[in-house]
């Protein structure tokens, strides 16, 4: 199809080249040991003769985790393909590698491998697509890279944007670049929006209505495997009957509030344990120092330290274990919500039957939050004091915790189905190719 405003992508590319030193400096830090930085320029090993590939791009660790049901389903649906997952960040790459090792150990479905996504320079985008030769390109949520999308279209690779979401803030930013976004979206064969509001925002940026479908959020199809539940049960057994709560995916400015709430909680319940899981690995040591500054005794999971009866905080400073840690707790606070981040996945603890608390900053999960509010499955707090008050209330009321847990599980169950609807269209795109 003819792309509208083809000139805007040339201007966009010129701006990227002007900013190349700054872009490269930032990317230089986002790397894994032993992985060549030339991947960022599209210089990956070429596909083997007769090799068939599906490509899924996720921005970082949160998107990889949210896409896990899709990754598993793609591997099972197309076992003869290899599944390449790209990320922008090193933490996302580490999560993909964990998934790949787990799949290899189970011996089920397609091979999963990882590359870093190329920088969106025209040459890098073209090289990457030419060497990967995917049958289908799937972009997860809000990842819209104009030159990559155009390179796929030029190579005859159908592009799908799945679990498509645009927060009001992201939409306002993209709207300032509407001609560029309209040109980029003209290369998308299908957009699977997660809500009517998200679809409407995409349409206002120029996405074609006939190629847009509201399928619901893939996050509701969260995978809570027996393995995860078994790990949770073993953890809970070792932790004993003491009050345990998790603060997951926390950010700077939020850890301090969580720790202050825990200090208050322990004034009433001195054996209460906080399992604290910062969002980003590079902050693990800093958060450990914050715990000590707050006068709280600490055990670190990465060092195989186990919390004793007098331990106040168990630092979850490992990757890929948050879901199991949620399942081992009596209550779960989901971070990124007491600071202006936009929240993280409220459904992870809910799917495991752990009552959910959150702060007010939920712009990235507003549709999920609204469904949970309507079902009475969400407790919202605004600061350390209200968090402490709600923790005390819920630890004192087993029936209230049970009602929250059942309501959360019901929300997840009632909204499943987006994965099946998404796979049906992706299968048609692969067959059409």
What is the per-residue pLDDT across 152-172, written as a single tens digit (0 to 9) for each? Answer: 999 999 999 999 999 888 899
399/288 Cα distance (integer angstroms): 34
DSSP 139: E
72/67 Cα distance (integer angstroms): 9
Local confidence band at 376 (pLDDT 50, 70, 90 cut-offs): very high
Listed residue (135, 111, 148, 115) closest to 13, CA to CA:
148
pLDDT at site 167: 86
Least confident range from 3-7, 15-19, 372-376: namely: 3-7
277/293 Cα distance (integer angstroms): 17
Q: Which residues pair with 358 in a beta bridge?
A: 334, 380
Cα–Cα separations (whole angstroms), residue 1 to 8, 16, 185, 196, 213: 17, 25, 11, 26, 19
pLDDT at site 111: 84
Query: Taking the model in full, what pTM does it have?
Result: 0.80
Listed residue (303, 249, 305, 254) closest to 281, CA to CA:
249
DSSP 34: T
- The question of whether 63 is a catalytic residue gets the answer yes
pLDDT at site 201: 96
CB count within 10 Å of CB 24 equals 13
CB count within 10 Å of CB 153 equals 20
pLDDT at site 2: 56
Candidates 39, 63, 72, 141; catalytic one: 63
What is the per-residue pLDDT across 199-224, written as a single tens digit (0 to 9) for each? Answer: 999 999 999 999 999 999 898 998 77
Listed residue (104, 155, 168, 129) closest to 42, CA to CA:
129
What is the per-residue pLDDT across 101-119, written as a single tens digit (0 to 9) for each? Answer: 877 755 666 789 999 999 9
Angle at 51 between CA 46 and CA 52, to 5 degrees: 110
165/201 Cα distance (integer angstroms): 9
Which helix (DSSP H) or strand (DSSP E) does residue 17 occupy?
Answer: helix 6-18
Angle at 161 between CA 155 and CA 212, to 5 degrees: 105
96/58 Cα distance (integer angstroms): 10
The rounded radius of gyration (Å) of the Cα atoms in the chain is: 22
Task: Specify the pairing of strand 212-214 against strand 244-250.
Answer: unpaired
């Amino acid at each position: 199809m003819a792309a509208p405003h083809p000139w805007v992508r040339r201007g966009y590319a010129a701006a990227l080249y002007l900013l190349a030193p700054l872009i490269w400096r930032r990317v230089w830090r986002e790397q894994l040991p032993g992985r060549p930085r030339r991947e960022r320029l599209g210089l990956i090993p070429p596909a083997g003769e007769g090799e068939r590939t599906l490509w899924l791009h996720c921005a970082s660790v949160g998107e990889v985790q949210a896409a896990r049901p899709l990754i598993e389903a793609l591997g099972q649906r197309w076992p003869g393909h290899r599944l390449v997952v790209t990320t922008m960040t090193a933490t996302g790459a580490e999560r993909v590698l964990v998934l790949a090792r787990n799949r290899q150990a189970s011996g089920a479905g397609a091979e999963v491998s990882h590359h870093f996504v190329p920088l969106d320079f025209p040459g890098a985008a073209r090289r990457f697509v030419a060497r990967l030769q995917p049958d289908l390109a799937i972009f997860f949520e809000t990842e819209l890279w104009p030159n990559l999308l155009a390179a796929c279209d030029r190579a005859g690779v159908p592009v799908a944007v799945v679990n498509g979401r645009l927060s009001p803030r992201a939409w306002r930013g993209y709207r300032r670049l509407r001609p560029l976004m309209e040109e980029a979206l003209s290369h998308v064969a299908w957009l699977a929006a997660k809500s009517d509001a998200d679809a409407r925002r995409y349409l206002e940026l120029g996405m074609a209505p006939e190629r847009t479908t509201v399928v619901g959020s893939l996050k509701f199809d969260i995978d809570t495997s027996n393995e995860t539940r078994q790990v949770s049960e073993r953890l809970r057994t070792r932790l004993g009957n003491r009050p345990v709560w998790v603060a997951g995916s926390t950010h700077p400015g939020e850890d301090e509030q969580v720790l202050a709430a825990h200090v208050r909680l322990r004034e009433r319940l001195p054996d209460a344990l906080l399992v604290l899981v910062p969002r980003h690995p590079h902050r693990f040591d800093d958060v450990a120092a914050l715990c000590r500054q707050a006068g709280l005794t600490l055990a670190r999971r990465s060092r195989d330290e186990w919390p004793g009866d007098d331990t106040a905080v168990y630092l979850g400073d490992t990757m890929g274990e948050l879901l199991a840690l949620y399942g081992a707790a009596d209550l779960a606070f989901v971070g990124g919500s007491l600071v202006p981040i936009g929240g993280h996945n409220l459904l992870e603890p809910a799917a495991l039957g752990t009552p959910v608390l959150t702060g007010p900053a939920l712009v990235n999960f507003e549709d999920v939050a609204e469904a949970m509010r309507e079902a009475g499955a969400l407790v919202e707090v605004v600061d350390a004091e209200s968090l402490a008050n709600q923790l005390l209330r819920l630890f004192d009321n087993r029936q209230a915790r049970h009602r929250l847990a059942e309501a959360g599980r019901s929300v997840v169950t009632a909204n499943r189905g987006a994965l099946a609807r998404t796979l049906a269209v992706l299968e048609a795109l692969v067959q059409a190719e």
